[in-house]
Amino acid sequence: MTRQYFGTDGIRGTVGQSPITPDFVLRLAHAVGRVLKRSDPRPTVLIGKDTRISGYMLESALESGFNSAGVDVVLLGPLPTPGVAYLTRAQRASLGVVISASHNAFADNGIKFFSAQGTKLSEDWERAVEAALDEPPHWADSATLGRARRLDDAAGRYIEFCKSTFASDLTLRGLKIVVDAAHGAAYQIAPLVFHELGAEVHAIGCSPDGYNINREVGATHPDALVRAVREHRADYGIALDGDADRLQLVDAGGRLFNGDEVLYLMVSERLARGEQVAGAVGTLMTNMAVELALKRRGVPFVRTGVGDRYVLEELERRGWLLGGEGSGHLLALDRHTTGDGLISALQVLQACVRSGKSLAGLLGDVTLFPQTLLNIRLRPGQESWRDNPRLLEATAAVERELGQTGRVLIRASGTEPLLRVMVEARDAAQALACAQRLVDAVQA
């Protein structure tokens, strides 16, 4: 059974259009509640959100839907996605729910879920929810309705958890750090985490108004961070996305470091401490240079499909701890159950402080291969792009040209009607030219 509503990261879309409408979200929460009650007679669900104006509406719809199924609700207010995952586990809740469309613009929103253990839920669970959506509702009577309350100091509890992942014998004192929260869920939390560990913090992207989330700031628009680091003569810049589960880093020279480099650095830091690293997981998009550098150090590396849930599934299957994506979704399962931009940043800063080296110094043996990634918005009727003869012919020609010195990856986005075309080659101009040939083939 295929999933009708769930994508690679929950349910996402444009607010006011199916399925991101209050009536559907109420039905969704009711269906989820009924699934939960199959194993728990009185479930409790935590609900967090980012800073989008639509979060108020969707929060109310979720609350009503859960209560109508006899499920208790705890409202967390604005909180990063990984913060909801942590509190779900810490509060022994049955489920965590996040209202967010992550790095998308404010006009979009979405719903994603975490298990009682703070992990992403399986596709089988999502199929069970979709099956329940097709069933008639079973409204609870007045005596069995769920209740709702707010959790005091949800942000403070999560701040303390983040700080606990940073070595207790180290401090950020003496460092100047620019923090960009993308006007998103971490706008209050992120500056405090680094300040309370001793850093001098300059905050940008920390003034949400409901409409400006991810707008020209944050992990998807790192130019703002680069400018701010130079302006303040900071040692580091840290950019998160709207729900703070992805990370981009900038050093004092304004150089941007992506998630592939951070993954290598996390592995390298553990090796430097004498820890064994059984292996690391990346995706089809992970830069070949990182794969080769890890293998030179005797660390096995495997790829999964694009999406942090697939990285997590592979890590759990192999019993490994470290994985991630170039976009900045990083997993360190000895620190948290899910990707966390703040905790990933703390792991990087910990490595720099402990070693006395800069980011560039720690990554001196990794030079990324140039990658070109172009997005094509699919028009109606282009869903069958895999059968496009022009694209098939152009792909074969590009692969012949690259040989063993590069890669081609073409995939549909799991969250937007986009086709993503990636070409990796040792020469940047060649990568760009080859990618453009593939785009032209689709658009012809």
pLDDT at residue 292, as a whole number: 86
Per-residue model confidence as pLDDT tens digits over 60-73: 999 999 999 999 99
CATH 3.40.120.10 residue ranges of the chain are 11-155, 173-255, 258-362
7: confidence class by pLDDT, cuts 50, 70, 90: confident
More confident residue, 388 or 340: 340
Active site residue 355: no
- Selected from 1.10.20.60, 3.30.1330.10, 3.40.120.10, 3.40.50.1400, the CATH number assigned to the domain covering 11-155 reads 3.40.120.10
- Selected from 3.40.120.10, 3.40.50.800, 3.90.700.10, 3.40.640.10, the CATH number assigned to the domain covering 173-255 reads 3.40.120.10
pLDDT at residue 382, as a whole number: 61
pLDDT at residue 444, as a whole number: 75
pLDDT at residue 134, as a whole number: 95
**What mean pLDDT value characterizes the chain?**
94
pLDDT at residue 222, as a whole number: 96
pLDDT at residue 156, as a whole number: 98
Per-residue model confidence as pLDDT tens digits over 91-145: 999 999 999 999 999 999 999 999 999 999 999 999 999 999 999 999 999 999 9
Catalytic hit among 54, 68, 100, 102 = 102
Q: What CATH topology corresponds to 371-443? A: TATA-Binding Protein (3.30.310)
pLDDT at residue 1, as a whole number: 55
Per-residue model confidence as pLDDT tens digits over 318-333: 999 999 999 999 999 9
pLDDT at residue 30, as a whole number: 98
pLDDT at residue 23, as a whole number: 98
CATH superfamily of 258-362: Alpha-D-Glucose-1,6-Bisphosphate, subunit A, domain 3 (3.40.120.10)
Average pLDDT over residues 305-326: 94
Q: Is the pLDDT of residue 381 over 70?
A: no
Edge-to-edge, what's the strand order for the sheet holding 418-425? 371-377, 418-425, 406-412
CATH 3.30.310.50 residue ranges of the chain are 371-443
Per-residue model confidence as pLDDT tens digits over 22-49: 999 999 999 999 999 999 999 999 999 9
Q: Are strands 95-99 and 108-114 parallel, antiparallel or unpaired?
A: antiparallel
Per-residue model confidence as pLDDT tens digits over 224-276: 999 999 999 999 999 999 999 999 999 999 999 999 999 999 999 999 999 99
pTM of the full structure: 0.88
User: How many percent of the chain have pLDDT more than 90?
Assistant: 87
384: confidence class by pLDDT, cuts 50, 70, 90: confident
8: confidence class by pLDDT, cuts 50, 70, 90: confident
User: How many percent of the chain have pLDDT more than 70?
Assistant: 98
- How far apart CA 100 and CA 103 sit, in angstroms, is 9
Q: Is the pLDDT of residue 365 over 80?
A: yes
315: confidence class by pLDDT, cuts 50, 70, 90: very high
pLDDT at residue 383, as a whole number: 62
pLDDT at residue 411, as a whole number: 87
